[in-house]
Amino acid sequence: MTPEEKLLIKNRIIKKLERTKSKILDMEEMTKPISPENSIGRLSRLDAINNKSVMEAALRTARQELEDLEYAHKHIEKEAYGVCFKCKAEINFKRLMLMPGSKHCISCANKLG
């Protein structure tokens, strides 16, 4: 990976970190418990509970993304950044631009699930 590519990825990581942190704050607000004393109908309450469950799943995903981005930000200057954890091949630049927290190449990621 060239120094220019690393700089592009580093800038991408910083932008994604900011957006992900903001997204997590919004999601945490939306996943607060639904008070039973709120005067909404039974179906509306069920819909709110369902939406809360969906948002909690999205929040877990966003927190994992944040963890991966923080790892990438911490390790981007190291030689091992951009190298697949499993097969040790270089991770494609386009993949890193799209998912800078990637720890696996496309081939190994597909095998993992």
82: left (phi over 0), alpha (psi -120 to 50) or beta: left
Predicted confidence (pLDDT) per residue in 76-101, tens digit: 999 899 999 999 999 999 999 999 99
Kindly report the average pLDDT of the chain as a whole number.
90
Predicted confidence (pLDDT) per residue in 55-71, tens digit: 999 999 999 999 999 99
Residue 52: band (very low, low, confident or very high) from pLDDT cuts 50, 70, 90: confident
Q: Are 56 and 101 in contact (CB under 8 A)?
A: no
Taking the C-alpha atoms of residue 11 and residue 97, their distance in angstroms, rounded to an integer, is 10
Taking the C-alpha atoms of residue 35 and residue 17, their distance in angstroms, rounded to an integer, is 32
3-112 to CATH, choices 3.40.50.170, 3.40.50.300, 1.10.3720.10, 1.20.120.910:
1.20.120.910
